[in-house]
Amino acid sequence: MAEVLLFHHAQGLTPGVLAFAEELRRSGHTVHVPDLYDGRTFDSLEAGAGYAQEVGFGTIVERGVRAADSLPRRLVYAGFSLGVLPAQKLAQTRDGAAGALLFEACVPVEEFGAGWPAGVPVQIHGMDADPFFVGEGDVEAARALVEAHAESGELFLYPGDGHLFADPGLATYDAKAAGLLTERVRGFLAGVGV
């Protein structure tokens, strides 16, 4: 079974993020879900992103990096949207990564000063008309990452324009797409089991 460090999205550590972590635990995986917002949650993506901007995206990323300090080196790093930033940074820069799961975001690998590490598999998931994932260039970064690592990279696009579509507590939740994402994540984790 795999050990996962899962980072929440801009609305905070919502019940939906916790439910996703619990779903993975029911499959036998160990899942750590740190709170990068010190207990705050937000009713809208805009309010949560505003808080992250106020605190500083660099600070949020560093909180995520520190959350890994007491954990084993061989982890799967996962993140939803904003949580992709610390997940991707750790997958690229912390030795021993078992894999990465990037949901609804992806940044160019150059953002963290190093290329993608050889042998570290990655799955990226997003909706094909999501104004953030597609409209802000994340899908291009995802395609570039997968093309450079075709042997260990996968990009899954789901029909729709919802952002945070896998969080069942939000209005953008898409049960069909979220179910397929979860099924694919289970397969990924089974393949990288520690």
pLDDT at 93: 95
* Per-residue confidence in pLDDT tens, the chain, 194 aa: 899 999 999 999 999 999 999 999 999 999 999 999 999 999 999 999 999 999 999 999 999 999 999 999 999 999 999 999 999 999 999 999 999 999 999 999 999 987 899 899 999 999 999 999 999 999 999 999 999 886 789 999 999 999 999 999 999 999 999 999 999 999 999 998 65
Query: What does the alpha-carbon distance between residue 144 and residue 149 come to, in Å, rounded to a whole number?
Result: 9
Q: Give the CATH fold of the 3-192 domain.
A: Rossmann fold (3.40.50)
Residue type at 39 in one-letter notation: G
The torsion angles phi and psi of 29, rounded to 5 degrees, stand at -90, 150
Residues forming beta bridges with residue 158, ordered by sequence position: 127
Residue type at 157 in one-letter notation: L
pTM of the entire predicted model? 0.96
Sketch the domain layout of the chain as residue ranges. 3-192
pLDDT at 193: 65
